[in-house]
């Protein structure tokens, strides 16, 4: 999905790993909620981390494409809700992964229309970047290149929704992501 999304997820993972090391007292709560659902909460004087996977309907602010099914990978959950909060910094990422018998064009059309409720939708084949003055950055296509994946994005760098769609067999697979940051 985009380079910037990957960077943010890696930053979230790094912060989650470092948080317990820098805190004086750490409270870690881990739960297996059954059915592939898991929850981890880490609380410390330095900040909090909350991770939920296997949720029934993660809240990305966008309805799931009709007839789509969660895409299950044996090594990764089909969805996650991650929140990190510390003094002066916060990150929330809700990500879901689906498959559908519908072709990519139908799914792109569906989400292009649904995302208009949040502002101007940018469609890219390639990476997405954000430009503009701080707090009002808008998505732009970083570079145009041949790609089987179409990305739709709406919002600002601090709060945006992204849908990445690509062909899979006779249908499609797609990810729906909501990202909110606070600095």
Mean pLDDT for 119-136 is 81
pTM: 0.76
pLDDT at 23 over 50: no
Tens-digit pLDDT profile for residues 71-89: 877 666 678 888 888 878 8
Tens-digit pLDDT profile for residues 37-59: 677 777 777 788 888 787 777 78
Give first-to-last CA distance, the chain, whole Å.
23
Q: What are phi and psi of 26, to 5 degrees?
A: -125, 135
């Amino acid at each position: 999905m985009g380079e910037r999304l990957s960077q943010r997820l890696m930053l979230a993972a790094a912060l989650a790993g470092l948080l317990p090391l820098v805190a004086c007292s750490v409270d870690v709560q881990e739960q297996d909620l059954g059915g592939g659902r898991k929850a981890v909460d880490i609380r410390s004087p330095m900040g909090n981390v909350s991770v939920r996977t296997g949720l029934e309907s993660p809240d990305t602010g966008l309805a799931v494409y009709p007839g789509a099914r969660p895409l299950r990978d044996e090594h990764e959950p089909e969805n996650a809700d991650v929140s990190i909060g510390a003094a002066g910094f916060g990150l929330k990422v809700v990500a879901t992964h689906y498959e559908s018998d519908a072709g990519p064009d139908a799914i792109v059309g569906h989400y292009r229309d649904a995302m208009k409720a949040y502002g101007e939708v940018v469609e890219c084949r390639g990476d997405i970047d954000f430009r503009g003055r701080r707090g009002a950055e808008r998505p732009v296509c970083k570079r145009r290149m041949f790609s089987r994946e179409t990305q739709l994005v709406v919002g600002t760098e601090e709060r945006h929704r992204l849908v990445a769609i690509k062909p899979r067999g006779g249908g499609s697979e797609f990810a729906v992501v909501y990202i909110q940051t606070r600095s």
